Chains A and B, each alone.
Chain A
Amino acid sequence: MNIKITSKEYVEYIELVTKKIEENKDYITKLDSITGDGDHWVNINMGFQKLVENKELLLSLKLGDMFKKIGMLIMSTVGGSSGVLYGSAFIGAAKTIGDKEEMDINLLCDVLEAELNAIMERGNAKPNFKTMIDSMYPAVNALKDALDKKLDDYDALQAMKQGAIDGMNSTKDMEAVRGRACYQPNKGVGHLDPGAVTMCYQLEVLVDYLCK
């Protein structure tokens, strides 16, 4: 199969992610109450709800402009660290997309990598810091490897999804270096990082949507 993502597909995907985040309110809030200050679900949910509210506006924009708008909306709605990190990710992706009207698997890979790099740079963070990066980094690398091996889009995306899930699970035993959990005496050890979980949702839903 060959995937194709225009503004229309991406907005459909955003709606599915928003639903997935909504459904996991209690789980994410509980996780963040143990390791952080308990507001991660509220913030990330507020950001995605705002995107859905602005669906028509997003649909009217070209792909790159849509990504920039998504970044600006999340930034101003969510605020704090999550807002600026996600904002940087989408605006970084917008630069990579430029004036292209649609994404194939290779451009999607470049876009995800641009998002990852923007988050790492803005947050001055690396893998193994017990953050959202720990879901995204292995996912993007798995996708790159699969594409290097000339795997079919379907198999490459499945590899990415597995990378995200494994990455999310690996945060359980990590000591936090960034985020509120690093001020806990035990550095959040024994619990998944809520930011890594919500990032994993986004990557999983993207794969499921594209492979349906």
Chain B
Amino acid sequence: MKKIINNPDEVVSEMLQGLVKANPQLQYSKDLEVVSKIDKENKVGLVSGGGSGHEPAHAGYVGKGMLDAAVAGNVFASPSPDRILKGIQEADTGEGVLLIIKNYSGDIMNFSMAKDLAEMEDIKVEMVVVKDDVAVKDSTYSTGRRGIAGTVFVHKLAGAKAAAGGSLDEVKKVAEKTIANIRSMGMAMTSCILPGVGVPGFSLGDNEIEIGMGIHGEPGVERTTVKTAAELAEILCNRILEDYDYSDSEVAVMVNGLGATPLMELYILNNEVEKILSEKNIKIHKALVGNYMTALEMSGCSITLLKLDDELMNLLDAPCDTPALKV
């Protein structure tokens, strides 16, 4: 294992401290592994989180126009309810808090428990669950579809609605509408190594890729041979377009890297995605290309489509200022 770390047990805490040192507008709650905004605005609070190893998710999306707090678990493991409760307390200004959760059983259990604890303290809490991955119906860590990179769009649009002064119910409605219009599909070319484990969790041969693999290395749809960017774009986009009707619509696209894939390759993929969509008369309003939700040093990508109407478009274009996304 070659990694720039000190002690595997301290990677989450040291990473978040490093993030806050580069972003002095954020603060870090030691031991509870919560990153939150220093300047509180009076508005609905947004909290997201989950296992670490998906950087810049989730702490990278804390800031104006997006999240108010992010809660980190250990690598690929859900944070415990006491940590999430701290995130809720940091984000609450009396207007209530929305939890944005990805559909993994551990996350669902821990976030719902935190919601109960916060309600015992008279904080109003609502939650939404992102399940954008069209690859598989059930998976190693999820009952039903997994939540992956599309979650970033949910942070962005719900965050814009909260910043515009929306009520807890209105912000939740926007989050749910966004979730309903998002589909993602990914693939992986290599495994990744958890710092505490030291060896790869599985192996893919030199000429092997896995279509539909999850962001923790969970099994996908099929193992196949290396493809061209055009073939990959075709495979991933088709799965998405078969699952939800994007025809004649305007969309936001995210071409996301899993951590070890060079930007060169992501831009090449984006070029192919644009060709496929324009052939189908789908207009791209905005494309985000880069590492938005990763899996340590896994190489691979995911493609996300978000179908836009006027409301969602305005929220997508609203300004935001976070370490990982600025509009």
Which residues of A are at the interface with B, using a C-beta cutoff of 8 A? 72, 75-76, 78-81, 83-85, 87-88, 91, 122-124, 183
Against A, the Cβ 8 Å flags (1 = close, 0 = not) of B60-100 are 00000000000001100111111100000000000000000
A127 to B91, CA, bound (A): 38
A185 to B79, CA, bound (A): 29
Against A, the Cβ 8 Å flags (1 = close, 0 = not) of B255-273 are 0000000000000000000
Q: Which B residues lie within 8 Å of A91 (CB)?
A: 113, 116-117
Q: Which A residues lie within 8 Å of B112 (CB)?
A: 122
Interface of A is mostly: helix
A-B contact pairs, 13 of them (CB 8 A): A75-B81, A75-B113, A80-B80, A80-B106, A81-B106, A81-B109, A84-B109, A84-B110, A84-B113, A122-B109, A122-B113, A123-B109, A124-B105
Contact B78 A80 (CB under 8 A): yes
Of the candidates A75, A79, A88, A124, which one forms a contact with B77 in the assembled complex, judged by CB atoms under 8 Å apart? A79
Contact A83 B140 (CB under 8 A): no
Q: Which B residues lie within 8 Å of A72 (CB)?
A: 82
Contact A75 B82 (CB under 8 A): yes
Of the candidates B74, B78, B113, which one forms a contact with A87 in the assembled complex, judged by CB atoms under 8 Å apart? B113
Q: How many residues of B contact A (CB 8 A)?
A: 19
With most chain A CB atoms within 10 A of its CB, the pick from B81, B116, B143 is B81
Q: Which B residues lie within 8 Å of A84 (CB)?
A: 80-81, 106, 109-110, 113
Q: Which B residues lie within 8 Å of A124 (CB)?
A: 105, 143
Given contacts A75-B113, A80-B106, 18 further A-B contacts (CB under 8 A): A75-B81, A76-B80, A78-B80, A79-B77, A79-B78, A79-B79, A81-B105, A81-B109, A83-B80, A84-B81, A84-B110, A85-B109, A88-B109, A91-B113, A91-B116, A91-B117, A123-B109, A183-B140
Which residues of B are at the interface with A, using a C-beta cutoff of 8 A? 73-74, 77-83, 105-106, 109-110, 112-113, 116-117, 140, 143
A20 to B117, CA, bound (A): 31
A78 to B83, CA, bound (A): 13
Q: Which B residues lie within 8 Å of A122 (CB)?
A: 109, 112-113
Q: Which A residues lie within 8 Å of B82 (CB)?
A: 72, 75-76
A88 to B112, CA, bound (A): 10
Q: Which B residues lie within 8 Å of A79 (CB)?
A: 73-74, 77-80
Q: Which A residues lie within 8 Å of B113 (CB)?
A: 75, 84, 87-88, 91, 122
- A-B pairs, 3 with minimum CB distance: A76-B82, A79-B80, A84-B109
Residue of B nearest to A183 (CB): B140
B199 CB to nearest A CB, Å: 15
A206 to B77, CA, bound (A): 32
Contact B106 A75 (CB under 8 A): no
A76 to B74, CA, bound (A): 12
With most chain A CB atoms within 10 A of its CB, the pick from B77, B106, B113, B143 is B113
Q: Which A residues lie within 8 Å of B110 (CB)?
A: 84
Q: Which A residues lie within 8 Å of B81 (CB)?
A: 75-76, 84, 87
Q: Which B residues lie within 8 Å of A88 (CB)?
A: 109, 113, 116
Q: Which B residues lie within 8 Å of A123 (CB)?
A: 109
A131 to B82, CA, bound (A): 24
B50 CB to nearest A CB, Å: 13
With most chain B CB atoms within 10 A of its CB, the pick from A72, A84, A87, A91 is A84
B118 CB to nearest A CB, Å: 12
